[in-house]
Amino acid sequence: MTGTPPARTTTAPAWFKSSYSSSGDGNDCIEVAISPGTVLVRDSKNAQGPRLSIASAAWADFVGGAGRE
């Protein structure tokens, strides 16, 4: 095999919190990042810690169910 492998372009996910997330110090929640076909979830207090990867359709079902009373 000869040549140079193609350059990888990695973009850090854009993390965000819910507008409903407003505890005393503002960090007691999860953060979410959207990527193609997947939703990433992490603990806002441990940004470098483990991340949960959920299929977009499963996340939509979860959010839809969580909003019901």
Q: What is the pLDDT of residues 4-23, one digit of tens each?
A: 666 656 688 899 887 776 65
Is position 61 within any domain?
yes
Is position 49 within any domain?
yes
Q: Which residues contact 69 (CB under 8 A, 6 or more apart)?
A: none
pLDDT at residue 53, as a whole number:
95
Q: Give me the domain span that covers residue 57.
A: 30-66
Closest by alpha carbon to 42, among 62, 13, 10, 63? 13
Is position 19 within any domain?
no
Query: Count of domains in the chain?
Result: 1
pLDDT at residue 9, as a whole number:
60
Q: What is the C-alpha to C-alpha distance for residues 30 and 52, in angstroms, rounded to an integer?
A: 11
pLDDT at residue 38, as a whole number:
95
Is position 62 within any domain?
yes
Is position 46 within any domain?
yes
Per-residue pLDDT for the chain (69 aa), expressed as one digit of tens each? 456 666 656 688 899 887 776 656 655 788 999 988 999 999 888 889 999 999 999 999 998 888 776
